[in-house]
Amino acid sequence: MNRIDRLMGVVTMLQSRRFLPAERIAEKFSVSMRTVYRDIKALVEIGVPVSFETGRGYFVVQGYFLPPVSFTNEEANALLLMESIAARFGDRSIQKHYGTALHKVKAVLRGSQKDKLEQLQGQIRSVSCGYTQNDFAYLTNIQDTIASQTILNIEYRNNRDEVTSRAVEPIGLVFYALNWHLIAWCWHRNDYRDFRVSRILGLSDTGLPFKKMDHIELNAYMKLLPVNY
């Protein structure tokens, strides 16, 4: 990768998160820390107001808007393919937001790219096996609580058709056995539980921060699931 492409990549990373550690940049582009510092200096010199906060990383000064992200044909095609996957395996909330995101992607494409993408869009289909359950609209809210680490209240129906109210601390979402599963610490059971999202009858974000601070990593919990990855 040449330096111009790498600088654009750093800009894209800065756009995608609030703080960006130098180590993350070095790992992403397989460069030394010294090269990262030179790249940040180069961005500042061309007018990108990059600043640094000790212990957190680099960030773009609030109020500055970077130029729109551009996409290669291959990147746009990959996003289009994922639309088919989102439609089949995402719930209504994911389908809605992915659709609006793809419209924004199309808005920044050149005319010839748009024509190719529209032609390709009509040639991609996914066929459901008939068992996937996604007639709900909870995944976006669950993602929000995972990211913000806030307690979630859910109404849950188990496999015996018993309905209970649970206060849970979500640690992740896993798709297996043709269903989405919420992995969370359940205060009702004082243990981690695997909740099939299609069995959730209702949910609300309390806005309250997690009370348990030493949660298991999702990858570690996945080793306990009854499936092979």
- Domains in the chain: boundaries: 3-60, 73-121, 139-222
User: Residue 11: what pLDDT?
Assistant: 85
Q: Which two tokens stand for residue 196?
A: 């099939």
CATH topology of domain 3-60: Arc Repressor Mutant, subunit A (1.10.10)
Average pLDDT, the chain: 85
Residue 68 banded pLDDT, cuts 50, 70, 90:
low
Q: How many CA atoms lie within 13 A of 15 on its CB side?
A: 13
Residue 109, pLDDT score: 75
Give residue for tokens 């849970």: 168
Write b or e for each residue in 182-205: b if 16 or more Cβ atoms lie within 10 A of its Cβ, otherwise e. bbbbbeeeeebeebbbbbbeebee
pLDDT at 175 over 70: yes
Q: How confident is the model at residue 198 (pLDDT cuts 50, 70, 90)?
A: very high
pTM: 0.63
What would the DSSP string read from start to end of 105-154? HHHTS-HHHHHHHHHHHTT------S--------HHHHHHHHHHTEEEEE
pLDDT of residue 199: 94
Tokens of 183: 């992995």
Average the pLDDT over 164-175 and give the result. Answer: 94
